Structure 1
């Protein structure tokens, strides 16, 4: 039997959406169940306002139940003591199932949070690649034999942590999920996933695929719900050994308090950003750089933790370069998220939509020069066009705070020192960009930028081999690469006396 043709047009994606069957219950101990309270919440399509589903709203009783099953599975060794090669086969099977269902998974994220479907397909490639990479790492990380005299043998072993709770954001729902759960599962932990209440559907479909792949009962569970209910319960649990989180800095700080109030659980945070993108006058292709600078902020509607939201341009080219950015932005207008031609989609929900518009109004009031955009699009759905402010100063809210929307703040600088100081003048340190043809400058500036990652003559480059994370109030964890696998394991020192 031949496979159906993959969707290619707006009509194809609409037809696929019309035929979807949505799972909306929690996944606890290999079974889909309603929340213990019977409570549900709505998840809406932000492009149309239509209700997609009423989803189980989990709370403390559901968390306690899932934690109990996760602990039993871990202590029983059905996954934690399974040979690494066998865990690898199961995770590779999961990646294969995700590949076979990638169009459905991409569609779920597009319907749930409004991102363009082609962007969602790119996310699926990243999610599948992450699962495969971490699976392949499992049986390739060795322990150590410490140097000793003949009287002892000293071993350094790696062991899984136990029960890991992963709280993921709504802007890249399934890709961020993969970044969290893949290394945690690969290391042998039991994982409880709390997807954002704004985008839970792909996580619940993933649970179906995980069960089909052969992940044992209790090893992977999904609890949809709100941060202040089920998220808080997971963070305060004495039986959760590790908490990984991607989201706002304010929430990250609250989770640190919960970790301290409970069992000092391991905590990995990837929080907010206000990333600088530095453009020096020696760039030889300003049209290309402007295209990348626009995409760095307008991709995914600007709802990106590493969005290049602060554009720092050397003043000698600033006027010309900003005009090129405006021209690039003009071609990045939002459209129907199901249309493969759309570069931008809808803002995730009405709350975020209002928040972005409030920042835009504040930018105007504080004296920044609005060059394009600035108002919501009229008609159905939550759409905001690319918005560019020039003459921004560090004192302005749009120049300092994370807007998490398609709003670019342009600054000017006259010297390398000024550019570095301006770039580092932020509470955040998640990412930074640097555009220059001067290799000496590149090496100097790269080392001095206070950022967990620096993109040189590109924006957001990297693959699964590169760790992803920040410094300062952007957090302390690292996703991707074998470094993330190490985070989900503990070191055990074993000293064996060989003396007779």
Structure 2
């Protein structure tokens, strides 16, 4: 399997809809194209998944056998890591070193959830109860944990390998049959992973890959009457549309991992060298195109100027470039559409009187590159830069005077995905962590992740959790059985 063979295969995949170009964001050149699969292809994929669910070819497989298949998937991802990471770099514009890390994390999703295949169980109790009749009886009651039949998995263009594996591994471990739709901007690695599943022994019809636009293929999945559950990662706006589709269709269950506008709180007793370096990396990684990045930094007033200068210095020293450019640390935005969006926010910021300490411009070269930008002198009550998820290399930095003000500013958002606290005070660290409205909080660290720990958001950052036991629970239903003794 080579990069060129994958590009050719994408182009040859059947479809009935519009031709969709796949653009290299570092060069703005088309690298391949494919046809939108169309609603008919979604119907076929759902029918195939429904048939395998009914037959039990996957859900009825012995747990240890399903675990072996998932472990084999992980091994094959590792064996094809070079091609996968090269495709990820080419398609998403990220440095090759980062793509290799993401690919390695992807294979571990399957190893982790292979272990869960043999550990899904319910509870059992002997109960003396009158039930609703009032006649006391000796009952044996137990619960079964059963997979949803057909699950739609829709994931975004930032980190496609990571998101593909994060959803598919627990869904397969639970015994679900699936319909998988990657983002139209980044379809390449999903095609390789689709081949890997077949080679590893996942039966035909259990994991069905459908390529297309969100408003065509994605919408058809979310509204399909035979899809029992949808798991989606992407914007809050699209998340709302999926909820509406569920309400209008069959009330299928929905898991949503949505937007973020995560706060970073730096107190005056923090290790500033570490805090500045980590906070800068934690807002500019992947050109700011990661949902849990710390895009709002709040700094205690006595150290405010030092932190602003420090983050601006890091921003100015970050080398932007394509995946194959020597020394490249940050890649481009994903598309012309995203570039236009980000530049629009910068123009709006200037109109609001925001001070751009550094950055605020597109690089004078091919590719969708925007210089990392540090924004200050912001009115948090009105500024769109402060309030809205931009998904670009822009960070706002505001001062605070005391702990209460810092928490008020941090929680002043519709999102609640992540947060970070920098302080040497153990008491303050845990006190503030409890008060932050966020699903993940880092104490003197940022962007930490492990497959065993649940990840999800508060408020409009989502419904439900991925990773850990919670990650497989989201693909299982509970059934209670009562037996008269």
TM-score clears 0.5: yes
| Structure 2: tracts of 5 or more residues without a match | 129-136
Cα offset for 1:439? 1.0
Q: Which residue of the partner structure matches residue 291 of structure 1? A: 277
RMSD: 1.5
From 50, 68, 79, the counterpart of 1:71: 50
Cα offset for 1:109? 1.4
1:412 aligns with 2:391: no
Structure 2 CA distance, aligned partners of 1:164 and 1:340?
Answer: 42
Q: Which residue of the partner structure matches residue 184 of structure 2? A: 197
1:491 aligns with 2:470: no
Cα offset for 1:152? 2.0
1:355 aligns with 2:322: no
From 409, 412, 423, the counterpart of 1:425: 412
The DSSP-based 3-state class of the residue aligned with 1:492 is strand
Query: Which residues of 2 match residues 219-234 of structure 1 at below 5 A?
Result: 219-234=206-221
Q: Which residue of the partner structure matches residue 60 of structure 1? A: 39
| Structure 1: tracts of 5 or more residues without a match | 1-15, 27-31
Q: Which residue of the partner structure matches residue 14 of structure 2? A: 34
Structure 1 CA distance, aligned partners of 2:162 and 2:388?
Answer: 25
Structure 2 CA distance, aligned partners of 1:266 and 1:38?
Answer: 28
Structure 1 CA distance, aligned partners of 2:479 and 2:454?
Answer: 24
Cα offset for 1:339? 3.5
Q: Which residue of the partner structure matches residue 272 of structure 1? A: 259
Q: Which residue of the partner structure matches residue 292 of structure 2? A: 306
Query: Which residues of 2 match residues 39-54 of structure 1 at below 5 A?
Result: 39-54=18-33
Q: Which residue of the partner structure matches residue 460 of structure 2? A: 473
1:112 aligns with 2:99: no
Structure 1 CA distance, aligned partners of 2:21 and 2:326?
Answer: 26
Note if contact 1:117-1:339 (Cα within 8 Å) is conserved in structure 2: no
Aligned residues: 475
Listed one character per residue, the Cα deviations across residues 135-170 of structure 1 (whole Å, up to 9, x for unaligned) are: 111112322112424822211110001100011000
Cα offset for 1:103? 1.4
Cα offset for 1:288? 1.2
Cα offset for 1:40? 2.6
The DSSP-based 3-state class of the residue aligned with 1:359 is helix
From 390, 393, 397, the counterpart of 2:384: 397
From 170, 173, 186, the counterpart of 2:157: 170
Q: Scaled by the length of structure 1, what TM-score is found?
A: 0.93
1:322 aligns with 2:311: no
Cα offset for 1:99? 0.3
Cα offset for 1:123? 0.8
Cα offset for 1:41? 1.0
Q: Which residue of the partner structure matches residue 7 of structure 2? A: 22
Instruction: Mark the CA change 1:339 to 1:128 in structure 2 (over 3 Å): closer, same or farther.
Output: farther
From 225, 238, 257, the counterpart of 1:251: 238
Q: Which residue of the partner structure matches residue 238 of structure 1? A: 225
Cα offset for 1:45? 0.4
Note if contact 2:357-2:375 (Cα within 8 Å) is conserved in structure 1: yes
Cα offset for 1:468? 1.0
The DSSP-based 3-state class of the residue aligned with 1:148 is strand
Cα offset for 1:113? 1.7
Structure 1 CA distance, aligned partners of 2:449 and 2:369?
Answer: 29
Structure 2 CA distance, aligned partners of 1:246 and 1:38?
Answer: 24
Q: Which moved more, 1:140-149 or 1:48-57?
A: 140-149
Q: Which residue of the partner structure matches residue 5 of structure 1? A: none
Cα offset for 1:448? 0.6
Listed one character per residue, the Cα deviations across residues 196-248 of structure 1 (whole Å, up to 9, x for unaligned) are: 00101111111011111110010001111011111111111110000000000
Note if contact 1:24-1:54 (Cα within 8 Å) is conserved in structure 2: no
Note if contact 2:233-2:256 (Cα within 8 Å) is conserved in structure 1: yes
Q: Give runs of ≥4 in structure 1 deviating > 6 Å.
A: none
Listed one character per residue, the Cα deviations across residues 79-127 of structure 1 (whole Å, up to 9, x for unaligned) are: 0111111111001101100000111111111111211111111111211
